[in-house]
Structure 1
Amino acid sequence: MKNHKYIAKTATDSVAKQIAKLEAIGDSGVGKALLANLRRAAGRDLQKNPDIWGMVLEDLPVPEYDSPEIMPEEMAVFISMTLYAVAQQGESPVTHSMHQKDVSFGAACGQLAGSDENQQERVRAKLKRLLGAKNMDELAEQLRRMIQLIKAEDIKLDYAKLCNDLYWYQFTNGRDNVQLQWARDFTRSMKHNTEEKKEEEENNG
């Protein structure tokens, strides 16, 4: 029987390790090529992108059995790493990393929503579409679109934590828990934005 907690932690640690590597060599020719390979693989099949196999698979345990399907941990690392590369485009991972520990996807979306009610509604609508994804490929595409919006506002998040979420998201009970945590983090972050704006207005008034 699978030890899901161990596998989830292994996948999460793998993403943190790979990002640390990229942050160390990101401005070199090799680092730039690795990030470019990851970006090109976003929304595609892991199996057809050998340039990134090492970054995605090297730290993961060997599957318990031969499977014709990509394993949940492989999918989680693959999506997280390609999204990190999308977020990092145009920025040096050495001097301006878009990876920030302990900032969840939900919290980053809350920052994106800000304190403006119209913007909040727009972000909620995009999250609704994201959460309605019928499979992981569709979810990955919706996440990519959201990450591009988050990146445009220079909002950072924890891509290793996102990997953990995406692992559990592939199981029915886990999906419910992840969605609930995203909802909580989103709401708290948005509330913080509103309170900050109110305090600023009071100080300026």
Structure 2
Amino acid sequence: MTTAPPAPAQRRRALGPVGTLAGSEIGRLQKGYLDDRPDAVAALARLRRGAGKDTATIPDLWGLLDSDTLHADPALQQDAAHTALYTAATLYALHQQSRGTRMHRPGGDELGTAVRRLMPGGDLDEPTRKRFVRAGSAPTMPVLATRLREIVLLLRREEIALDYALLAEQLYQWQQRPWGPDSVRRSWGRSLHAHRAKPADQAEGTKAADTDSTADTDTDHNKDSAQ
């Protein structure tokens, strides 16, 4: 019997085990990176190589995150949980690269809100909107990871932070067929349309430029290039 999808929530639901662990592990790495701790800098450099890829196929990533709590939870779908955790962490690692402020902000922007901040003056910008729609319509997790990577590069350029704990939770939910993808799309869409530009957003929004390049062209800090 097919399980009915959860009713759309007007407010964010509490994070489950995947989002909670992602927030803890990414928060730990973020603090270490901003404190210029060599172990955290090296871990993010390795995680970054997996951004936009099928993380299950990259052994170099295994063991970089403490996922013991996931193994201990019999209610979780283990493959989906680990995919969500590592996909979120690799995207965060790319987002944080060469940035001296926190790109993971617990309780901060959902993906749709962050994308809306990319749009000049908060108005709907068609090239950016199309990237967002392409991510939402991804048929598989590897394709979704690739399309999210394109968006993360834009967010990094404008130094727009994201709640990666929430993203990890949604990536886990995405994999719950058949209702998961639609539920996540609805949440992303609501957050895109709910955001209204504030004066500060409007001032910063003029910096956003349309680009079709998905290449990583940012110059790393010395600590990144040393990896």
Q: TM-score, normalised by structure 1?
A: 0.79
Q: What is the rounded CA distance, in whole Å, between the counterparts of 1:64 and 1:99 in structure 2? A: 28
Which shifted more, 173-182 or 143-152?
A: 173-182
Residue 133 of structure 2, aligned match among 128, 134, 154: 128
Amino acid in structure 2 at the alignment position of 1:17 = S
* Deviation for aligned residue 1:44: 4.0
Give 1:58 shift: 3.2
- 1:94-173 alignment to 2 at 5 Å? 96-102=101-107, 103-115=109-121, 117=123, 120-171=125-176, 172-173=178-179
Q: What is the root-mean-square deviation in Å for CA atoms of aligned residues? A: 2.7
Query: 1:36 aligned to 2:45?
Result: yes
Q: Which whole-Å CA distance do the structure 2 matches of 1:62 and 1:193 have between them?
A: 44
Q: Would you say 1:72 and 2:80 are equivalent positions?
A: yes
CA contact (8 A) 2:122 2:201 kept: no
Amino acid paired to 1:45: T
CA shift in 2, pair 1:122/1:194, >3 Å: farther
1:10 paired to 2:17: yes
Note the C-alpha offset of 1:40.
Answer: 1.1
- Determine the structure 1 residue equivalent to 2:209: none
- Spell out, residue by residue over 1:156-189, the C-alpha distance to the aligned partner (whole angstroms, 9 max, x if none): 0100000111111112212212111111110122
CA distance in 1, matches of 2:199, 2:193: 11
Offset at 1:23?
Answer: 2.8
Within 1, Cα distance between the matches of 2:199 and 2:133?
Answer: 21
Structure 1 residue 145, shift from structure 2 partner: 0.6
Instruction: Decide whether the 8 Å contact of 1:114 with 1:193 is kept in 2.
Output: no
Give yes or no for the alignment of 1:81 onto 2:89.
yes
Stretches of 4+ aligned residues off by more than 6 angstroms:
none
Q: 1:29 to 1:170 in 2, by over 3 A?
A: same
**SS of 1:127 mapped into structure 2:** helix
Contact residue 56 and residue 77 of structure 1 kept, 8 A: no
Question: What is the CA–CA distance in structure 1 between the aligned matches of 2:17 and 2:61, rounded to whole Å?
Answer: 21
Distance in 2 between the 1:78 and 1:56 partners? 11
**Contact 1:165/1:178 (CA < 8 Å) preserved in 2?**
yes
Distance in 1 of aligned mates of 2:185 and 2:97 = 27
Please tell me whether the aligned partners of residues 38 and 52 of structure 1 are also in contact (alpha carbons under 8 angstroms). no
| Unaligned stretches of 5+ residues in structure 1 | 198-205
Q: Secondary structure at the match of 2:89?
A: helix
Contact 2:95–2:156 (8 Å) recurs in 1: yes
Q: Hey, which of these two has a bigger chunk of helix by percent? A: 1
Contact 1:111 1:193 in 2 (8 A): no
Mark the CA change 1:84 to 1:133 in structure 2 (over 3 Å): closer, same or farther: same
Between stretches 44-53 and 140-149, larger displacement belongs to 44-53
What residue number does 1:202 align with?
Answer: none
Task: Measure the CA separation in 2 of the matches of 1:106 and 1:30.
Answer: 32
Q: Percent identity?
A: 26
Return the alpha-carbon distance in structure 2 between the equivalents of residues 150 and 101 of structure 1.
16
Residues 56, 130 of structure 1: alpha-carbon distance in 2 compared, 3 angstrom cutoff: farther
Q: Does 1:180 align with 2:186?
A: yes
Q: Distance in 1 between matches of 2:158 and 2:120?
A: 11
In the other structure, the counterpart of 1:60 is: 70
